[in-house]
A = this chain, B = another copy of it.
């Protein structure tokens, strides 16, 4: 199980909720912010395809693809995923064009979850973000099994929101069924 984390700060609410949701479960964290991931140059329609990019994306996606269950954890920034997460997602287009990677087929065998935390009525206003992830996973053939929306503002607020914690517990039960290599 891999957690792909788009937070801009460690130990924030997204982290805290993710840790609650994954309590007792083994997983590998990928903090996108710690890696150099350039915005995409859209070369999908260039004859030569995408140029090689001098950053960490390719190695990162190779490591992520080792895992069967992917959890996308992102704060809700301006009613969407963080820019750091979005730059990572945009680069998936490059993996799609990388024939030797066999990207889409590998993604179609994985299960995905989303964990997101926002401050402004996220259980309503983050629904378009959930919808966006659904389209992303539909395109990739990845099963979007479930999502967890937490509500918090100031750091560590999430730990005092009973609804978020209750839902994290319910989420934890669902995730506990995976026992990974």
Q: How many copies does the complex hold?
A: 4
**Do residues B77 and A82 form an inter-chain contact, with CB atoms below 8 A?**
no
Question: Known contacts A41-B9, A86-B83, A87-B87: does B132 contact A146 (CB below 8 Å)?
Answer: no
Stretch of A19-27, A103-111, A122-130 on the interface side: A122-130
For A154, list chain B residues within 8 Å (CB): 45
Known: A42-B8, A77-B40, A79-B136. A147 touches B130 (CB 8 A): no
| Structural contact, B79 and A80, CB atoms closer than 8 A | no
A130 touching B132, Cβ below 8 Å: no
Check A78 against B8 for contact (C-beta < 8 Å): no
B173 & A170 in contact (Cβ 8 Å cutoff): no
Residues of A at the B interface (CB closer than 8 Å) are: 7-9, 12, 33, 39-43, 45, 75, 77-84, 86-90, 92-93, 120, 123-125, 127-132, 134-136, 139, 144, 146-147, 154-155, 162-163, 166-167, 169-170, 173-174
In the A-B complex, list the 7 residue pairs whose CB atoms are closest, starting with the nearest. A83-B87, A166-B170, A128-B128, A79-B135, A83-B86, A8-B42, A86-B86
